[in-house]
Every structure is written in C-alpha cells, then in structure tokens.
Chains A and B, each alone.
Chain A
Amino acid sequence: MMHRRWWSDPVLHFILIGGLLVFVQAVANPGASGREVVVSRDLVRGLRADYARRTGAVPTAQEEAALIEDYIRNEMLYREALALGLDEGDIVVRRRLIQKMEFLLEDEEPLKQPTDADLAAYLRAHAGRYASPEKVAITHVFVSADRNPSPRAAARALAREIAAGRPAAELGNPFLRGRELPLYSERTLASIFGSAFAAEVMNLPIGEWSAPIRSSYGYHLVAVQNREPSRNAKLDEVRTRLLRDWRAEERQKANAKALSRLRAAYEVRLEKGGDA
C-alpha cells in the first residue's frame, strides 16, 4: 500500500486552483473591481504589433485610436461581465473547468498492475463481452435479379442441376464480393447480403445445398462449409483488451473514490418540495 501524501489530496488541489484563479485575476486586472482603465505604453505597443501581425501593415494614427477605443470598450464590458458574475454562470466555462478537474483527479490514484488472477476474474465476470459470435463459412451460387427475368425459378433450376451432379462452381452469375466466403458472423453477412439472408443462412446445416434464399441482389443457393460455434474467449487471446478494460474500470472506481472523498468535504443540502 502506498501512503497517501498530503499534497496529493485532490481537495487541496481544488482549493489551490480556485485560489490561484482568483489571485491571477487580481494581478492581471488591477482595479478590476474599480473604474479605472489604464492604457499603458506597453499595451499600445502590443496592440500595434498585433495589428501588424494580422494585417501586415502598421496602423495609421486613426486606426491606432480605433484599436485603443476597442480595447477600452472590451475591457469595460469584460469587467462589467465579471462584476455581474457572468463567468460563474457560463456553462461552457463551467464544463471545461469540470473536465479539467476530472483529469486531475484521474492522475491522483496510482493503479496497481493486475495479476493473471485479476484478469481471469474480470474475464469471467464479463464473458459475453469477449465471446466470439457464431460464424459460418459459405459457398454460394448467385442468381442475379438483374440478369434473370425470374430469378427464383432460375435458382430452383440450378438447384436441380446441382442435385443431378453438376459442379456448382460452373453455375450462376458472378458475385462481386466472392463465391466462397470465410468464417463470417451474422453481422458481417448482413452487411454483405442483407439481414434476412444472414439470419436464414446461420440456421443452415453443414454440407448441404439450400433451397433458393433471397438477398438484396437476387437468389442464392448456399452451402455452409464450416461452422464455428460461439465460444468464450481464453485469457491469452484477449489479454490486451482485458488489460485496457480492466484499467478503465479500475480508473473509474478510483475516480469514484476520489469524488466521494471530495464529497465528504462538502455539505450538501437537498431542499425539499417543488420541482421547479
């Protein structure tokens, strides 16, 4: 167990950052609460350089006056906005700060290296996530709906020819994605042929030619050559993914812990009544 040091306490960080922001604001905007806008020579030089950088030209006296006027206007509006507390209510600023703080919290709790036993337990608990789906490898004879006026009847006729002993490889129309497909899951087959076709093919027996099956492109006679049943993964096959997912989950737990510690330092008062 590593001993936690006082300076790595996230609560402390939160307070420090808050303090820092207030401090920096005070330094950067002296008199921000007051009604004085100082146009220093440095400032004017900066405005001039900025103008040159944007336009490639030195500002004329008139343009420079406009730049300064612009600065004064923006400065006033900015201070008024701060005085009204607009920065606090801005959800965008709020969201960014929250995101940052979450990052900081993440780096607080060092994660331990998982043992094989940890990973095996994790795998057992989430077996479904790592299981490989059932897959089939098929050979098919394609009858194109575009090249045959009655493709279903044509497919039936081809089925009779195959039954009579004609080699299937000589039959049918070419299919752009191939005649013999390797082990594919139902999802992959659906992306090639359409979902109704894929569902039907998954249920075919091995080694027999099917009756014509309809796809998005026509009719197919299908023979399943090989079937790999759905199976749970072994530790070594998915070690990489396991490690990542295990870490992600541990990370989440650690973050939750850090958050609950933070929560302990706050008093949360839930007001009753009304949902307005």
Chain B
Amino acid sequence: MSAVTFRVWGGILPWIATGSLLALVAGGCGDDDDGGGAPVEQGRCIDFNPLRNVYFGDLHVHTTYSFDAQVFDVSTTPEQAYRFAKGEELKLPPLGSDGQGTQTLRLQRPLDFAAVTDHSEFIGEVEACTTPGSFGYDSESCQTFRAGGSLGQTVFGISTVEESPMRLADVCGEDGSACRPFAGEVWRRTIDAANAAYDRSENCQFTAMIGYEYTANTNVSTLHRNVLFRNDHVPFPTSYIEQPTPQGLWRELEATCLEAGIDCDVLAIPHNSNESNGNMFYVEYPGATSLDEERVQAERRRDLEPVMEVYQHKGDSECMNGLSGIVGAPDELCGFEKRPRAVFEDCGEVPGSGGVAGGGCYSRLDFLRGALLAGLQEDARLGVNPYRLGVIASTDTHNGAPGSVEEQDFIGHRGSTDDTLDKRLGPAQRRSGPSFSPGGLAGIWAEENTRESLFDALRRREVFGTSGPRIAVRFFGGWQLEEDLCADPEMIAKADRDGVPMGSVLPQERSSDIAPTFLVTAMKDAGTEARPGADLQRLQIIKGWITDGEAHQQVFDVAGDPNNGASVDSGTCERVGTGAASLCSVWTDPDFDPTQHAFYYARVIENPSCRWNAYSCLGLTGEERPEGCDDPEVAKTVQERAWTSPIWYRPG
C-alpha cells in the first residue's frame, strides 16, 4: 500500500505550497514552473488596461472532494472543473451502468476565471474513506459515507452544527491525526489543478484561483465563507472542526497567511446569509471589553471580508420585503429568487436557528441591504464599518460545473439530488426543488486577467454580481462628475479621474452644500448567435442611510423604462417587445444630507425572460410533463439582473 506517497505535516506549521515544496510532496517528480516566489510583473497580459477590463467567472465551485457532493455521485475532480470552465465537456449523474455520468454539459462561453472551493472540513475524511487500507476505511462511519445519499452526508455534516466539533475517531483516530495526510494530499491536488489550469502566457485567457470553503453551521444557520488566496503561497486550510467560530477563522488566517511571512494574502467571502437566521451579520464583538477592542475586531472583519456573495443557486441575499428594522417603501424587485419556508417569521433583533435545514426566522441582517445599514450604524457608533461589503455572485455548484448559469441548460446543481426534472420540480426539499436556480457570476473590473489583479479588485471591491447574464456595469461617484458624461467618448477616463469606482468611500468634501453625483452605465449581455442576450429594462440606484439611529432605504429609477411593455410568453419562452442595449445615467442625490452616513449601489434590470423550469417544460406533454411544470407557486419567468458594489459616504 505504499504506492501513494504521503507526507505528514504535524503541528501548526503553515503548509506552504511553493513550487519546490509541492515537488517534494508529489514524490519528487519535479514540478517546475509555478512561479514560486518569483516577483509578479504588472502588465504582462496583452490586454492590460489601467482603466480596467471586465472579466466574468465563478468563485464558488465544489467537486468530488466535497463530502456533500461525493455522496451524491459527483465524481468531477478540480482538474475537470477547470477544464469545464475553459469550455470542455463534463459528464454528470445520473450514472449509467458503467458508473459514468449520463448527462453531458458544456458552457456556451468559457469563463475568464474560476476558483474551486471545496469544503475544507472533511477533505481528509473523504479521501480516507475512499482509500482501501486506510486507518478508517472499514469504520462504520466510512461505510455509511460510502453508502452515500443524505445519510452518508450526515455522518460528517453533523459536526458542522456542533459547538465543540471533533473529528470522528473511527475514521481519523483518537487524536484526529490519521486524516491529516489524506487532507494534505487532496489539498496538494487542488493546488496542482489550479496551477495547471492557470494561463501564465501573455494571452491571459484563464485564471484559476486557489481557495476552499469554511463551513460553519452554528445554530443550524449558514455562516459559510469562501476563503480565497492571492497566489499559490497558501497555508493548509482552516476548518470548522479546528476553528468553530468566524473569529477563530480570521485569527488563523492572520497567523498562517497574512502574518506568516510567506508572501500570502487572503480574503473571505460570506455567502448564503439568506439562510443564516440573522446570524451572519449579527453585530457582536465576542470578548471585547472596550470600544477600542470592538474597533479592532470591526477592522479585522472589514479588512478580511471585503465582499459578500449576493446570489447563488440557493437564492438571493440582496433584500427581502416585510422585515422589521428598515424604514422605507417596499422594493418591488426584492421578490427575486427567494427560498420559501413553511412559516414566515421575523427574527427581529434576536438571531434564530434552523436556516440550514430550510427553517427558522428571517432577519433584515440575512440580506445585503440590512447588513450595509448595520455597517453604517456601527460606523456612526465606532468610527469603523465592519460591513463595508462589496458584492459578487457565483454558482455554488456541487457538480464541479463552474459558470453553468444559463437557464436553458440547468440540469441540477448537486449530483443525484436533482439530476432529473421530476426531482427538480418535485416538492421543495433542503437540497433540491423548484426554488433552486442555476446561480450567478462574479464580474470583476481588473487591469488584467491574473490572480493578483483579480484579487486586488476584490479587495478594493471593484466587483459586481449578475444573476447569470454577462451584463457589464460600471458605477462611479464623486463631487465633480460632469453632467454630460453619458455622451462623452472619454466617459470612463473622466469618471475615473474625477470620481471613485464602485467599492470606494467618497473622499471628504469641505463644502457642505454639494450633493454627490454618480455615473452608472451598463451594457446588455451580447449573448451568442444562437442565444442573443435579453435587452435591459432599467437602471436603479439604491440608497441606504441613517437618521437618528434609524435605518432607511430608497430605490431610484435612473434610466430605462419599467413600463416598456416588454414581456415573455412562458408557454413558448418567446420574448416580446424590446428594451435598451445599453443604458447610462448621471444622477445626483436629491435628498443628500451631509450629516448622514449613507451608501449607494446600482442595480441593472433585464426585460423578463423564462426561468429554467419554463425552458425545461417546453414541449413536454402528458406523462412526460411533471406536475411542477404547472404549479402556480413556482415562478415561470425571471428578471435577470446585476448588482454593483456600493459607494459609501461618511460625514467628515
């Protein structure tokens, strides 16, 4: 059984994956080129652009190394996932008699970047349980895991809701150490796959980033983060088992990466706050005994978590109407891709539990808008905003199929849980059902398509999310933006010179009688010849502000026409009517009050189009047609959209 070489890394030594160490771990086969500690040149790509290009990708991707993908027959490796992102074909369940997937999937258009982010918690266990002869292979836990399905998943998954989680002794030994070499081996393969997929030529066609998912389900609520690195100088992954609090995750990322002196840089991306029952962005500073100590914690969070995921296959986390704590008219477009629960209950000021299982209460803090408002309140109180959050979207695919976001092509997101239309349209369940959707994409404005340039854009929040279409949107704010920018051929250069891009804080302004001005401009997705993109319906700016401690919101339509008459026939999926190919507006806040903390972000809305279920049901009749096709509770159309990162105003 010595054929596979493992190297045990004990203690808390950071596990550094430079090229040379990788070669060691790989058994000395001499990997060569991964740029180890070589200095990074700026501008090595032919399309280097100081005003930034737009790139589209997926930063939330699970493969067979995730315990909750493997138990549902997903066998996609990280290597295959990256190949898929670059345009190659992928086989997915249901499995045929030869054990291979019987569904074939291929992207219409390759992605510019992707990151495989497997659950760090059990990568060692999964490998141990599938390696005959390992310490735990014959354990009851491994046998249950190999039997697969929800039971197999629960064997490990249950630990992520425990307050003092432990590794299973029958799989990993009494001290948990027997799984560690396996985890090291899987992590090495993950890094290798990313390095192999990364285009380091001057063409810069594709960037593969290195990361993993930290999976805390404290209170049975989703407190998940994707951890993403700037290069391949990366420590061994932190997991919930060793660090069961987000504060522990941040401390360990500081110790093993930021302060480890290994040229490592890292950020964490919270996601699925829509299932967190008010826990993800609950305002608390555990252990802090003074305002100063609270500030330290708030700064750490602000710096390590600059971006959240606003949308993915488990639904939208932008906003929800009817929750307490926010003053303002309801936002008609907040109904987008919500995951219904049996009972609607408002958490109010006290966090609840049960979101992971599709239950419990909803809180305004489960959504971007509530979190941004809480951030303003904290900024007013502490002078630090812990929730200065930019936004991206991604898929969270558990099929290893990054960027598979086209409604027409949706064949499920997690192996055998939803690999037939009957399952996808059957009664809503935790892991499948009609409220799931293909998920979205991350848009990044970066100088060039390299790991460093993309990472730096995430850090400065010059990023946006889309619900799938490749809508390009720019958003600038400033005190002296010219009013006729929309007609100026030098629009972007001037906006960049006179203002700040999305993700920034407006610079301090001395004069108190000027209101800030914003440029927002978007282009529809050109699509492909076979599937042209939908026209745009309108541009909006969403403002949030604090008056006397009270949180307010308002939505402004700033371009386009909500009553343009365009619609879609959900029986044929034919789009009727037209909208705009591009939209632009220079907008000044009519109610600006220089004493109020405020944020502004933009939303781009497409004309209506068919949701995945309407496409899947096209032409199905009689026996072939699942009942869900005609369920009035399931939306058949959707207004795809894009969300920008905000621009903030802080009183001087």
Contacts and interface: CB of A to CB of B under 8 A. Distances in A.
Q: Do A and B interact?
A: yes
Interface of A: 8, 13, 16-17, 20-21, 24-25, 28, 53-54, 56, 91-100, 103-104, 107-108, 111, 113, 132, 135, 144-147, 169-174, 176-179, 181-184, 188, 190-196, 215-218, 237-240, 243-244
Contacts of B489: 169-174, 179
Given A144-B581, A194-B526, A182 B130 contact: no
B3 A92 contact: no
B49 A178 contact: yes
A231 to B, nearest CB: 12
B528 A144 contact: no
A94 B523 contact: no
B145 to A, nearest CB: 10
Contacts of A25: 138
Contact of A217 (B53, B99, B523): B523
A108 B49 CA distance: 48
Nearest to A97: B132
Contacts of B203: 132
Given A96-B130, A99-B75, A176-B474, 14 more contacts: A56-B163, A100-B131, A100-B132, A104-B3, A107-B3, A107-B4, A173-B489, A174-B492, A174-B584, A177-B53, A179-B489, A184-B47, A217-B582, A243-B33
Interface string B613-631: 0000000000000000000
Nearest to B192: A244
A26 B613 CA distance: 50
B219 to A, nearest CB: 13
A94 B99 CA distance: 8
Given A97-B132, A216-B532, A177 B523 contact: yes
Kindly name the residue among A13, A92, A179, A195 whose own CB sees the greatest number of chain B CB atoms within 10 A.
A92
18 contacts: A17-B132, A21-B132, A92-B148, A96-B146, A99-B130, A145-B581, A174-B521, A176-B474, A176-B523, A178-B49, A182-B46, A191-B526, A194-B527, A194-B529, A195-B529, A217-B524, A240-B32, A244-B196
A216 B166 contact: no
B22 interface: no
The 10 A-B residue pairs with the shortest CB-CB distance in the complex, in nearest-first order: A95-B99, A174-B491, A216-B526, A194-B526, A217-B581, A240-B33, A107-B3, A146-B580, A195-B529, A182-B47
Interface residues of B, number: 65
B138 A28 contact: yes
Interface in B238-296: none
B114 interface: no
Kindly name the residue among A172, A179, A215 whose own CB sees the greatest number of chain B CB atoms within 10 A.
A179
Nearest to B523: A176
A8 B491 CA distance: 67
B633 interface: no
B486 interface: yes
B201 interface: yes
A190 B99 CA distance: 38
Interface of B: 1, 3-5, 27, 29-30, 32-33, 46-49, 51, 53-54, 73, 75, 95, 97, 99, 109, 130-133, 137-138, 146-148, 158, 162-163, 166, 196, 200-201, 203, 470, 472, 474, 485-492, 521-524, 526-529, 532-533, 580-584
Contacts of A53: 162, 166
A110 B610 CA distance: 53
A238 B201 contact: yes
A177 B526 CA distance: 12
B580 A237 contact: no
B474 to A, nearest CB: 6
Contacts of B200: 240
Nearest to A7: B2
Contacts of A215: 526
Contacts of B488: 174
A95 B75 contact: yes
Kindly name the residue among A28, A107, A240 whose own CB sees the greatest number of chain B CB atoms within 10 A.
A240
A4 to B, nearest CB: 13
Nearest to A171: B489
Contacts of A146: 580-583
Contacts of B99: 91-92, 94-95, 98
The prevalent SS among residues of B at the interface is loop
A251 B3 CA distance: 15
B581 A178 contact: no
A216 B533 contact: yes
Contacts of B523: 176-177, 217
A178 B490 contact: no
B138 A178 contact: no
Contacts of A108: 3
B9 to A, nearest CB: 20
A94 B148 CA distance: 13
Contacts of B46: 135, 182-183
A53 B73 CA distance: 28
B526 A193 contact: yes
Nearest to B64: A99
Nearest to B162: A53
A147 B470 CA distance: 22
A107 B32 CA distance: 19
A216 B581 contact: yes
B472 A177 contact: yes
Contact of B73 (A21, A92, A107, A195): A92
Contact of A92 (B51, B97, B146): B146
Given A184-B47, A191-B526, A243-B32, A178 B487 contact: no
Nearest to A195: B529
Nearest to A13: B3
B459 to A, nearest CB: 23
A171 B49 CA distance: 22
Contacts of A179: 489
A182 B48 CA distance: 8
B544 to A, nearest CB: 26
B109 A191 contact: yes
Contacts of B27: 107
A244 to B, nearest CB: 6
Contacts of B527: 194, 216
B4 A103 contact: yes
A267 B613 CA distance: 50
B33 A20 contact: no
A224 to B, nearest CB: 16
Nearest to A17: B132
Contact of B492 (A170, A178, A194, A195): A178
Contacts of B528: 190, 195
Contacts of A195: 528-529
Contacts of B492: 174, 176, 178
B583 to A, nearest CB: 7
A193 B582 CA distance: 12
A113 B30 contact: yes
A239 B33 contact: yes
B487 A100 contact: no
Nearest to A239: B33
A195 B32 CA distance: 38
A231 B483 CA distance: 47
B471 to A, nearest CB: 10
Contacts of B162: 53-54, 56
A42 B138 CA distance: 18
Nearest to B490: A174
A240 B33 CA distance: 6
Kindly name the residue among B32, B48, B51 whose own CB sees the greatest number of chain A CB atoms within 10 A.
B32
Nearest to B33: A240
Contacts of B4: 103-104, 107
A245 B166 CA distance: 41
A16 B2 CA distance: 12
A186 to B, nearest CB: 13
Given A96-B146, A111-B29, A244-B196, A176 B532 contact: no
B47 A144 contact: no
B447 to A, nearest CB: 12
Given A177-B523, A243-B33, A20 B133 contact: yes
A53 to B, nearest CB: 7
